Amino acid sequence: MKKERLLKMKILGKHTIHLIENIVKDTLAPPEDLTIAEWADKYRVLSRESAAEAGKWETDRTPYMKAIFDCVTDSITKSITIMSSAQVGKTELLLNILGRYMHLDPCPILFVQPTVDDAKSFSKERVEPMLRDTKILKTLVDKVNKRETGTVQEKMFPGGYVRFVGANSPSGLASRPIKITLLDEVDRFPLSAKKEGDPVKLAERRTNNFYDSKKIRVSTPTDDATSKIQLLYLAGSQEEWSLPCPYCGEYQALEFEQLKYQDLVEPEFECKFCGESAVESEWKKCGQTNGKWIAKFPKEKENRSFHLNALASPWVSWKEIIAEYLNVKDDDFQYKTFINTVLGKTFTVNLDSAMDYEAIYETREDYGAELHDNVVILTAGVDVQDNRLEVEVVGWGYGYESYGIIYRDFPGDPGKEEVWLKLDAFLRKNLNIKMVSL
């Protein structure tokens, strides 16, 4: 019996020592030195709910992401801007950045979506499946959640947290210091977070306390006149994804204008340098692993910016892109969507073609009286200024047709009765319509 007891104690002792060794190893061992691409290739699992190709992540599937991943962890780079089309994997790019920081460099992270509802949906539909299926992240989150309760908008992990907020919520963009900001679909952000100002600046101002902070902005662009992501892109290195010509080997950006399709079974891309054309499979014969980013301003290392369109996507063929173009090119609204979501460019409204000023001018009508015969009701709007009152009288007819009747201003101090008496007398004035003989 004593021998059996001693044997059991020895076995238990070995297990205890082994357990202690593992705890010490996990606690004291330095974190793995992995780039984001290396981390994703080793640990990331794409969830079936949101990925067309569920399963283990492979960076080689989207080789244009590798350089972007690398500059996120480059000590020189402070901000990264990606202006891109849809269907190039930009959401998965953000999730890989998030996952790597959660695991290897835990810190406070802010993830901003256009609205609070968008932030909640993104957390539920994209982040929670990633945390469930990527085992190393599930382990981290589970450790904390045994002691604390995470929420839809805040996920805790050892050494940090990620907060999901809407750009329309000033409270979500204020207060706590943040090391990493991830801004998704920037062009859908409101111009101002209520009365607080530009949500991009509000969010990124919170990184000031961290010398090694990172600001990542991603979006499909919208209109040229209002696009935030285009301004951020133009302020950076302005890099374009480029492939070598199958004939002369010269690198060039994948520009839609170089695609030739008339009288061809399959679209061909024409080289800018040698003039030769080749089909998509020839240009991408190495799976784009021979591609590279070419910067307009290569010395701009702190503020890297990238432009990417659907011609680089492994999920959309050039043939499909041409088919969509032919289907929408004569419809202004659908063509705008094509420019934004396929070419990853802003849309510029051609005012000369959109509005014929001379034609509008010719619609003037002299109706020979103060009021048009169609007017059945009058409204007056008064704008109170510091030193005057401005009033406009508008006539309304059937079918909400409106007529500008009178514009008048009344100088005076709005704090005194005199100017208001003048306005009152004006509003009581009778206006004439043209007499119609019966």
Q: How far is CA 386 from CA 406, 415, 417, 423, in A?
A: 22, 9, 14, 15
| Of 113, 300, 108, 137, the residue nearest 212 (C-alpha) | 108
What's the rounded mean pLDDT across residues 21-50?
Answer: 80
pLDDT confidence of 142, banded at 50, 70, 90? confident
How many C-beta atoms surround the C-beta of residue 293 within 10 A? 21
Residue 69 φ then ψ, to 5°: -55, -45
Summarize pLDDT for 324-377 with one digit per residue, the tens: 999 999 999 999 999 999 999 999 876 555 556 566 666 666 666 677 777 888
Domain ranges of the chain: 1-30, 36-341, 377-427
pLDDT value of residue 438: 38
| Of 70, 113, 19, 109, the residue nearest 239 (C-alpha) | 70
12 or 241: which leads in pLDDT? 241
**% of the chain beyond a pLDDT of 70:** 86
Could you tell me the CATH superfamily of domain 36-341?
P-loop containing nucleotide triphosphate hydrolases (3.40.50.300)
Q: How far apart are CA 216 and CA 208, in angstroms?
A: 15
* 122, pLDDT greater than 60: yes
What's the rounded mean pLDDT across residues 53-71?
Answer: 95
Please state the pTM of the whole predicted model: 0.76
Summarize pLDDT for 154-203 with one digit per residue, the tens: 999 999 999 999 999 988 888 689 999 999 999 999 988 888 889 999 99
Quick check: 167 and 114 in contact, CB under 8 A?
yes
Residue 180 φ then ψ, to 5°: -125, 125
Looking at the DSSP assignment, which residues form a beta bridge with residue 239?
A: 295, 306
In the block, residue with structure tokens 């199958």:
246
| Of 71, 70, 41, 72, the residue nearest 57 (C-alpha) | 41
pLDDT value of residue 431: 76
SS3 of the chain? CHHHHHHHHHHHHHHHHHHHHHHHHHHHCCCCCCCHHHHHHHHCEECCCCCCCCEECCHHHCCHHHHHHHHHCCCCCCEEEEEECCCCCHHHHHHHHHHHHHHHCCCEEEEEECCHHHHHHHHHHHHHHHHHHCHHHHHHHHHHHCCCCCCCCEEEECCEEEEEEECCCHHHHCCCCCCEEEEECHHHCCCCCCCCCCHHHHHHHHHCCCCCCEEEEEECCCECCCCHHHHHHHCCCCEEEEEECCCCCCEEECCHHHEECCCCCCCEEECCCCCCEEEHHHHCCCCCCCCEEEECCCCCCCEEEEEECHHHCCCCCHHHHHHHHHHHCCCHHHHHHHHHHCCCCCECCCHHHHCCHHHHHCCCCCCCCCECCCCCEEEEEEEECCCEEEEEEEEECHHHCEEEEEEEEEECCCCCHHHHHHHHHHHCCCCCECCCCC
Summarize pLDDT for 254-291 with one digit per residue, the tens: 999 999 999 889 999 999 999 999 999 999 999 999 99
Q: How far apart are CA 11 and CA 334, in angstroms?
A: 72
Q: How far apart are CA 316 and CA 103, in angstroms?
A: 32
Mean pLDDT score of the chain: 89
Q: In what order do the strands lie in the sheet with 377-384?
A: 377-384, 388-396, 402-411
How many C-beta atoms surround the C-beta of residue 434 within 10 A? 11
